[in-house]
Amino acid sequence: MLKLTDSGCAQHHPQQITLTGPTAVLVARLIINLPMAGGRHTYICEDGHTHRLTLHQHEEKVTLRPPGFGYAGDTSTTH
């Protein structure tokens, strides 16, 4: 499970989002590639404002690679 808070901006209200399963894995991969500012991942919305994302820890760990998933050229996984 992935739980995150988006700080919002002048045009968008702050919101908290909870994701599970493959969607949580995909979004976690995207978030970790965002630039950091002040210890939080950031992105620019369609209105040109900076949003800051806060990731919340849960007892269920979000793995960046689901079981049985391999990347092209990766020899560390068994198929």
Q: At 23, is the secondary structure helix, strand, or coil?
A: helix
Indicate the pLDDT class of residue 78, thresholds 50, 70 and 90.
very low
Count of positions (residues) in the chain: 79
Q: At 26, is the secondary structure helix, strand, or coil?
A: helix
Give a yes or no: residue 61 inside a domain: no
Least confident of 5-9, 15-19, 63-67: 63-67
Strand partners, 55: 4
The boundaries of the domain holding residue 48 are: 2-56
Give a yes or no: residue 36 inside a domain: yes
The structural domain count of the chain equals 1
Give a yes or no: residue 6 inside a domain: yes
Each residue of 14-44: b (16+ CB within 10 Å) or e? eeeeebeeeebbebbeeeeeeeeeeeebeee
The four Cα atoms 70, 72, 76, 79 give a dihedral, to 10 degrees, of: 50
Give a yes or no: residue 67 inside a domain: no
